[in-house]
């Protein structure tokens, strides 16, 4: 600010801000916003961040707005320390404020808080990706998390219900924690599968579609296993639903 005042020949900060208001400028999110740059000068990286010496700028403006923009973009959300590595300043209070203001979603995760997007669908994708990261040594768990992230909201509920049925006692709570859902949502998925409410399911995995009519627990488990093994390719399926009650219950090829 002193340099700007000197350059503009004024001692009044209001004059500086009036002049700056006509220019595309940014104040630093570090150093209490004491430094300024023009967008035409800043060399933002792919995250929209730029550092000059030890001064940090963001195309989003303040640290609050920067964190609010970066967290939803993160594939697996952020823990405090992960975001701090990126922005190179303390971010714990900033993230807490955003969660309290309803701009981000915060949830406990193995003794820490994981910050994710407020949008439910995006948040579930981030939590599934986080699960896949943490179970990278367990191919089946990682495949489950990957497959789950490819589904829409209804399919996620049904798949969580399906896995909880396979788990048995305590499955609702376990799958709720694993996929970042409410236990009631998992229970609803169970009920829809067992009651036959789902007359037709279409699972789409990276362009490969598998249809089942009516829904069959055994068949769906088989589809999930196949898709998890080969999420980027074509998913094949048996011509007849195992355990289906009707002779014309078929699963057409993709």
Structural domain spans, the chain: 2-57, 63-134, 151-195, 199-254
Higher pLDDT, 72 or 127: 72
Q: Give pLDDT, residue 206.
A: 46
Per-residue pLDDT at 241 exceeds 50 = no
Angle between helices 217-229 and 153-167 (to 10 degrees): 110
Q: Say if residue 231's pLDDT is above 60.
A: no
**Per-residue pLDDT, 214:** 43
Query: Domain spanning 63-134: which CATH class is it, in words?
Result: mainly alpha
* Dihedral in degrees, nearest 10, Cα atoms 80, 84, 90, 92: -10
User: Which residue, among 180, 125, 131, has the nearest Cα to 149 in the 3D structure?
Assistant: 125
Residues 6+ away with beta carbon under 8 Å from 41:
none
**What ranges in 46-195 are assigned the alpha helix state H?**
63-73, 80-87, 92-100, 120-134, 139-149, 153-167, 171-179, 183-195
Mean pLDDT across 190-200: 70
| Mean pLDDT of the 37-55 span | 91
- Tell me the per-residue pLDDT of 135-188, one tens digit each, with 9 for 90 and over: 666 677 767 777 777 777 778 888 888 888 888 888 888 888 777 777 888 888
Q: Average pLDDT in the 86-90 region?
A: 95
Higher pLDDT, 5 or 213: 5
pLDDT in tens, 60-69: 999 999 999 9
* pLDDT value of position 245: 39
The winner for highest mean pLDDT among 16-20, 105-109, 147-151, 209-213 is 105-109
pLDDT at 51: 95
Residue 247 has pLDDT above 90, yes or no: no
């Amino acid at each position: 600010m002193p340099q700007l005042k000197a350059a503009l020949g004024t001692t009044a900060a209001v004059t500086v801000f009036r002049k700056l208001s006509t220019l595309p400028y940014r104040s630093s999110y570090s150093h209490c916003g004491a430094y300024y740059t023009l967008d035409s000068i800043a060399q933002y990286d792919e995250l929209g961040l730029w550092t000059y010496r030890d001064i940090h700028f963001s195309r989003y403006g303040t640290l609050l707005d920067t964190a609010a923009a970066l967290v939803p973009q993160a594939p697996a959300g952020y823990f405090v320390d992960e975001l701090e590595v990126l922005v190179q300043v303390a971010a714990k209070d900033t993230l807490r404020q955003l969660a309290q203001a309803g701009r981000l979603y915060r949830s406990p995760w193995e003794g820490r808080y994981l910050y994710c997007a407020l949008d439910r669908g995006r948040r579930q994708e981030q939590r599934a990706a986080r699960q896949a990261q943490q179970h990278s040594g367990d191919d089946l768990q990682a495949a489950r998390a990957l497959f789950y992230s490819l589904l829409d909201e209804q399919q996620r509920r049904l798949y969580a219900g399906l896995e909880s049925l396979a788990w048995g006692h305590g499955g609702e709570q376990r799958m709720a924690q694993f996929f970042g859902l409410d236990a009631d949502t998992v229970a609803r998925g169970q009920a829809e599968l067992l009651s036959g409410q789902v007359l037709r399911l279409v699972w789409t995995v990276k362009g490969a579609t598998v249809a089942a009519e009516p829904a069959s627990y055994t068949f769906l488990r088989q589809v999930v296993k196949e898709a998890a093994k080969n999420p980027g390719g074509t998913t094949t399926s048996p011509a007849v639903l195992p355990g289906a009650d009707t002779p014309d219950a078929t699963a057409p090829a993709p």
